[in-house]
Amino acid sequence: MTTQEKQTTDEKRAARLSGMQELVYFLQANSNVPLPYFGSLNSFPNDDESVSEIARSMKPVNKDTSQSYFTLTKTFDGGVKLSVNWTRDAVCERIVIGTEEVPEYKVEAHTRDIVEWKCPEGILDH
């Protein structure tokens, strides 16, 4: 990464952190605005960011894998979680340990609703 690219990345990071701080101050000052659901905040690092380096920074941290992702999760007060996600194949080695036959299956014809949403007019006029 060049010095200019790093500076741009650092500036974007600083701006994003500033925005997060503004959000916290806004929510503290406006108790009538409901808190967002923070089940997990997700980030997706660049390919050049080391899994082990990030894991060391996040200790204590939990590790998890899903069908598509390898995830490190750090839990904070109030159930707030930060999950850092990589595509699983970028971190893990794929090893075939056997095979299995998958039977053919079909989805039966069915009817489903076609919908549109009508929201209240003038909601911002109050």
pLDDT digits (tens, 9 = 90+) for 50-66: 888 899 899 999 999 88
pLDDT digits (tens, 9 = 90+) for 96-125: 999 999 999 898 999 999 988 877 777 666
Cβ distance 53 to 46 under 8 Å? Answer: no
Question: Residue 88: pLDDT above 90?
Answer: no
Q: Write b or e for each residue in 81-105: b if 16 or more Cβ atoms lie within 10 A of its Cβ, otherwise e.
A: ebbbbbebeebeeeeeeeeeeeeee
Cβ distance 88 to 101 under 8 Å? Answer: no
Cβ distance 58 to 84 under 8 Å? Answer: yes
Distance CA 85, CA 42 (A): 7
Protein fold of 37-94: 3.30.720
- Measured CA distances, 75 to 27, 80, 102 (Å): 21, 6, 38
Indicate whether this model's pTM tops 0.75. Answer: no
Sign of CA pseudo-dihedral 4, 91, 13, 53: negative
